[in-house]
Amino acid sequence: MAKILIVEDEQAISVLLKYNLEKAGYETVCVAQGNKVLPAVEKDTPSLILLDWMLPEISGLELCKIIRNNPDLKNIPIIMLTAKGQEEDKITGLSAGADDYVTKPFSIPELLARIQTNLRRAGNVASAIKKEYVFRDIVLKSNEKKVFRGENYIQLGPTEFRILQLLISNPTQVFSRDEVLKTVWGNSIYVEPRTVDVHIRRLRKALNEFGPDYIRTIRSTGYSLDDHQAEE
Protein backbone atom coordinates (compact mmCIF):
# COMPACT_ATOMS: atom_id res chain seq x y z
CA MET A 1 0.00 0.00 0.00
CA ALA A 2 1.32 3.41 -0.89
CA LYS A 3 1.99 5.68 2.06
CA ILE A 4 1.37 9.41 1.68
CA LEU A 5 2.99 11.93 4.00
CA ILE A 6 0.63 14.88 4.47
CA VAL A 7 2.47 18.04 5.52
CA GLU A 8 -0.13 20.66 6.36
CA ASP A 9 -0.48 23.01 9.34
CA GLU A 10 -4.15 23.83 8.78
CA GLN A 11 -5.86 21.10 10.71
CA ALA A 12 -9.13 21.20 8.75
CA ILE A 13 -7.29 20.60 5.47
CA SER A 14 -5.09 17.93 6.99
CA VAL A 15 -8.13 16.04 8.30
CA LEU A 16 -9.90 16.36 4.95
CA LEU A 17 -6.86 15.02 3.11
CA LYS A 18 -6.34 12.16 5.54
CA TYR A 19 -9.98 11.12 5.32
CA ASN A 20 -10.12 11.15 1.52
CA LEU A 21 -6.74 9.50 0.97
CA GLU A 22 -7.55 6.68 3.38
CA LYS A 23 -10.93 6.23 1.71
CA ALA A 24 -9.06 5.88 -1.59
CA GLY A 25 -6.93 3.12 -0.10
CA TYR A 26 -3.74 4.96 0.93
CA GLU A 27 -1.95 4.85 4.22
CA THR A 28 -1.30 8.33 5.63
CA VAL A 29 1.02 10.07 8.05
CA CYS A 30 0.28 13.69 9.02
CA VAL A 31 2.81 16.32 10.04
CA ALA A 32 1.93 19.94 10.88
CA GLN A 33 5.35 21.61 11.31
CA GLY A 34 8.17 22.03 8.85
CA ASN A 35 10.84 20.91 11.29
CA LYS A 36 9.04 17.58 11.86
CA VAL A 37 9.12 16.59 8.20
CA LEU A 38 12.66 15.28 7.80
CA PRO A 39 12.54 13.11 10.94
CA ALA A 40 9.23 11.64 9.70
CA VAL A 41 10.61 10.99 6.21
CA GLU A 42 13.80 9.43 7.52
CA LYS A 43 11.97 7.23 9.98
CA ASP A 44 9.62 5.77 7.40
CA THR A 45 10.03 6.70 3.74
CA PRO A 46 6.68 7.69 2.19
CA SER A 47 5.66 6.84 -1.40
CA LEU A 48 4.69 10.47 -1.98
CA ILE A 49 4.65 13.77 -0.07
CA LEU A 50 1.84 16.33 -0.15
CA LEU A 51 3.66 19.43 0.95
CA ASP A 52 2.03 22.69 1.98
CA TRP A 53 4.01 25.75 0.96
CA MET A 54 3.34 27.97 3.99
CA LEU A 55 4.41 26.12 7.14
CA PRO A 56 5.69 27.10 10.59
CA GLU A 57 9.44 26.61 11.21
CA ILE A 58 10.62 25.61 7.72
CA SER A 59 8.68 26.48 4.56
CA GLY A 60 7.51 23.81 2.14
CA LEU A 61 9.74 25.33 -0.49
CA GLU A 62 12.86 24.98 1.71
CA LEU A 63 11.89 21.42 2.60
CA CYS A 64 11.44 20.57 -1.03
CA LYS A 65 15.00 21.72 -1.77
CA ILE A 66 16.40 19.81 1.21
CA ILE A 67 14.65 16.58 0.21
CA ARG A 68 15.80 16.93 -3.40
CA ASN A 69 19.41 17.38 -2.28
CA ASN A 70 19.37 14.23 -0.16
CA PRO A 71 20.39 11.22 -2.31
CA ASP A 72 18.31 8.82 -0.21
CA LEU A 73 15.15 10.89 -0.47
CA LYS A 74 15.40 12.72 -3.76
CA ASN A 75 13.20 10.31 -5.74
CA ILE A 76 10.12 10.68 -3.53
CA PRO A 77 7.42 12.43 -5.57
CA ILE A 78 6.41 15.79 -4.07
CA ILE A 79 3.15 17.60 -4.79
CA MET A 80 3.16 21.17 -3.46
CA LEU A 81 -0.10 22.45 -2.02
CA THR A 82 -0.51 26.16 -1.93
CA ALA A 83 -2.88 29.07 -1.78
CA LYS A 84 -0.59 30.93 -4.13
CA GLY A 85 -1.82 30.78 -7.67
CA GLN A 86 0.61 32.99 -9.51
CA GLU A 87 2.44 31.54 -12.46
CA GLU A 88 5.79 32.67 -11.02
CA ASP A 89 5.07 30.85 -7.73
CA LYS A 90 4.35 27.73 -9.69
CA ILE A 91 7.67 28.05 -11.48
CA THR A 92 9.46 28.68 -8.16
CA GLY A 93 7.83 25.56 -6.69
CA LEU A 94 8.69 23.36 -9.66
CA SER A 95 12.24 24.66 -9.88
CA ALA A 96 12.71 23.87 -6.16
CA GLY A 97 12.13 20.27 -7.18
CA ALA A 98 8.39 19.70 -6.73
CA ASP A 99 6.96 17.19 -9.22
CA ASP A 100 3.57 18.79 -9.31
CA TYR A 101 1.67 21.76 -7.96
CA VAL A 102 -1.92 22.01 -6.73
CA THR A 103 -3.56 25.32 -5.84
CA LYS A 104 -6.00 25.64 -2.93
CA PRO A 105 -8.90 25.30 -2.96
CA PHE A 106 -8.43 22.04 -4.84
CA SER A 107 -10.91 19.37 -5.83
CA ILE A 108 -10.35 16.01 -4.12
CA PRO A 109 -10.90 13.96 -7.32
CA GLU A 110 -8.34 16.06 -9.15
CA LEU A 111 -5.84 15.77 -6.31
CA LEU A 112 -6.35 11.98 -6.19
CA ALA A 113 -5.81 11.81 -9.93
CA ARG A 114 -2.58 13.84 -9.61
CA ILE A 115 -1.38 11.56 -6.82
CA GLN A 116 -2.00 8.54 -9.03
CA THR A 117 -0.18 10.12 -11.95
CA ASN A 118 2.84 10.99 -9.81
CA LEU A 119 2.96 7.56 -8.17
CA ARG A 120 2.66 5.91 -11.56
CA ARG A 121 5.58 7.98 -12.80
CA ALA A 122 7.53 6.96 -9.73
CA GLY A 123 6.77 3.31 -10.42
CA ASN A 124 4.55 2.69 -7.44
CA VAL A 125 1.35 2.21 -9.31
CA ALA A 126 0.71 -1.48 -8.68
CA SER A 127 0.55 -1.10 -4.94
CA ALA A 128 -0.84 2.38 -4.94
CA ILE A 129 -4.23 2.33 -6.53
CA LYS A 130 -7.51 0.65 -5.96
CA LYS A 131 -7.75 -2.52 -7.98
CA GLU A 132 -11.22 -2.50 -9.42
CA TYR A 133 -13.64 0.20 -10.50
CA VAL A 134 -17.24 -0.45 -11.46
CA PHE A 135 -19.81 1.74 -13.18
CA ARG A 136 -23.06 -0.01 -14.11
CA ASP A 137 -21.91 -2.94 -16.27
CA ILE A 138 -18.41 -1.51 -16.91
CA VAL A 139 -15.59 -3.00 -14.82
CA LEU A 140 -12.01 -1.72 -14.94
CA LYS A 141 -9.33 -3.83 -13.27
CA SER A 142 -6.44 -1.49 -12.82
CA ASN A 143 -3.73 -3.96 -11.79
CA GLU A 144 -4.50 -6.31 -14.69
CA LYS A 145 -5.09 -3.40 -17.09
CA LYS A 146 -8.32 -5.00 -18.28
CA VAL A 147 -11.79 -3.66 -18.97
CA PHE A 148 -15.00 -5.66 -19.15
CA ARG A 149 -18.52 -4.77 -20.10
CA GLY A 150 -20.80 -7.42 -18.67
CA GLU A 151 -19.12 -10.63 -19.76
CA ASN A 152 -17.29 -9.01 -22.65
CA TYR A 153 -13.63 -8.14 -22.59
CA ILE A 154 -12.99 -4.69 -24.07
CA GLN A 155 -9.66 -4.14 -25.73
CA LEU A 156 -8.41 -0.57 -25.18
CA GLY A 157 -5.23 1.29 -26.05
CA PRO A 158 -3.17 2.58 -23.08
CA THR A 159 -4.44 6.15 -23.45
CA GLU A 160 -8.10 5.10 -23.67
CA PHE A 161 -7.52 2.92 -20.61
CA ARG A 162 -6.13 5.83 -18.59
CA ILE A 163 -8.98 8.13 -19.63
CA LEU A 164 -11.54 5.52 -18.62
CA GLN A 165 -9.73 5.01 -15.32
CA LEU A 166 -9.94 8.74 -14.60
CA LEU A 167 -13.66 8.88 -15.46
CA ILE A 168 -14.68 5.64 -13.73
CA SER A 169 -12.81 6.49 -10.54
CA ASN A 170 -14.89 9.69 -10.29
CA PRO A 171 -18.29 8.84 -11.78
CA THR A 172 -20.54 11.79 -12.78
CA GLN A 173 -17.69 14.25 -12.14
CA VAL A 174 -17.13 16.44 -15.19
CA PHE A 175 -13.52 16.71 -16.36
CA SER A 176 -12.44 19.45 -18.72
CA ARG A 177 -10.18 18.55 -21.63
CA ASP A 178 -7.33 20.26 -19.76
CA GLU A 179 -7.90 18.15 -16.67
CA VAL A 180 -7.95 14.99 -18.77
CA LEU A 181 -4.75 16.11 -20.48
CA LYS A 182 -2.96 16.87 -17.22
CA THR A 183 -3.99 13.61 -15.63
CA VAL A 184 -3.48 11.28 -18.55
CA TRP A 185 -0.47 12.86 -20.25
CA GLY A 186 1.04 14.73 -17.31
CA ASN A 187 2.04 18.37 -17.07
CA SER A 188 5.24 18.10 -19.00
CA ILE A 189 4.01 17.04 -22.43
CA TYR A 190 2.25 19.36 -24.81
CA VAL A 191 -0.81 17.75 -26.37
CA GLU A 192 -3.58 19.49 -28.31
CA PRO A 193 -6.85 19.54 -26.34
CA ARG A 194 -8.59 18.12 -29.42
CA THR A 195 -6.49 14.98 -29.02
CA VAL A 196 -8.65 14.18 -26.01
CA ASP A 197 -11.71 14.09 -28.27
CA VAL A 198 -10.04 11.60 -30.58
CA HIS A 199 -9.27 9.22 -27.72
CA ILE A 200 -12.75 9.69 -26.22
CA ARG A 201 -14.23 8.72 -29.59
CA ARG A 202 -12.14 5.53 -29.65
CA LEU A 203 -13.07 4.76 -26.06
CA ARG A 204 -16.76 5.23 -26.82
CA LYS A 205 -16.62 3.04 -29.89
CA ALA A 206 -14.98 0.20 -27.95
CA LEU A 207 -17.34 0.44 -24.96
CA ASN A 208 -20.56 0.99 -26.86
CA GLU A 209 -20.23 -2.21 -28.82
CA PHE A 210 -21.73 -3.98 -25.81
CA GLY A 211 -24.13 -1.45 -24.24
CA PRO A 212 -25.49 2.09 -24.01
CA ASP A 213 -23.26 5.17 -24.14
CA TYR A 214 -22.31 6.23 -20.60
CA ILE A 215 -19.75 8.81 -21.63
CA ARG A 216 -21.43 12.18 -21.45
CA THR A 217 -20.15 15.08 -23.52
CA ILE A 218 -20.77 18.44 -21.89
CA ARG A 219 -20.60 20.83 -24.76
CA SER A 220 -17.54 23.09 -24.69
CA THR A 221 -16.73 21.87 -21.17
CA GLY A 222 -15.60 18.29 -21.07
CA TYR A 223 -16.58 14.75 -20.27
CA SER A 224 -17.98 12.59 -17.52
CA LEU A 225 -19.09 9.03 -17.02
CA ASP A 226 -22.75 8.82 -16.07
CA ASP A 227 -25.98 7.49 -17.46
CA HIS A 228 -27.41 10.70 -18.83
CA GLN A 229 -28.31 10.74 -22.47
CA ALA A 230 -25.22 11.64 -24.49
CA GLU A 231 -25.44 15.19 -25.85
CA GLU A 232 -23.01 14.99 -28.71
> Smallest distance from the beta carbon of 8 to Ca ion, in angstroms?
6
Instruction: Name the residues that contact Ca ion, by CB under 5 A.
Output: 9, 52, 54
Q: Which is nearer to Ca ion, 50 or 200 (CB)?
A: 50
DSSP the chain: --EEEEE-S-HHHHHHHHHHHHHTT-EEEEE-SGGGHHHHHHHS--SEEEEESS-SSS-HHHHHHHHHT-TTTTTS-EEEEES---HHHHHHHHHTT-SEEEESS--HHHHHHHHHHHHHHTT-HHHHS-SEEEETTEEEETTTTEEEETTEEE---HHHHHHHHHHHTSTT--EEHHHHHHHHH-SSS---HHHHHHHHHHHHHHHHTTS---EEEETTTEEEESSSPP--
Rounded to a whole number of angstroms, the minimum distance from the CB of residue 9 to Ca ion is 5
Specify the residue, 83 or 91, whose C-beta has the smaller distance to Ca ion. 83
User: Smallest distance, Å, CB 37 to Ca ion?
Assistant: 13
Whichever of 52 and 179 has its CB closer to Ca ion, that residue is: 52
| Closer to Ca ion by Cβ: residue 81 or 196 | 81
Q: In the complex with Ca ion, which residue's Cβ is closer, 16 or 174?
A: 16
Rounded to the nearest whole angstrom, what is the least distance from the CB of residue 13 to Ca ion in the complex?
8
Minimum distance between the CB of residue 189 and Ca ion, rounded to whole angstroms?
A: 31
**Interior CA angle at 50 toward 131 and 9, to 5°?**
130
Q: Which residue is nearest to Ca ion (CB)?
A: 54
Q: Cβ of residue 56: shortest distance to Ca ion, in angstroms?
A: 8
Nearer CB in complex with Ca ion: 54/191: 54
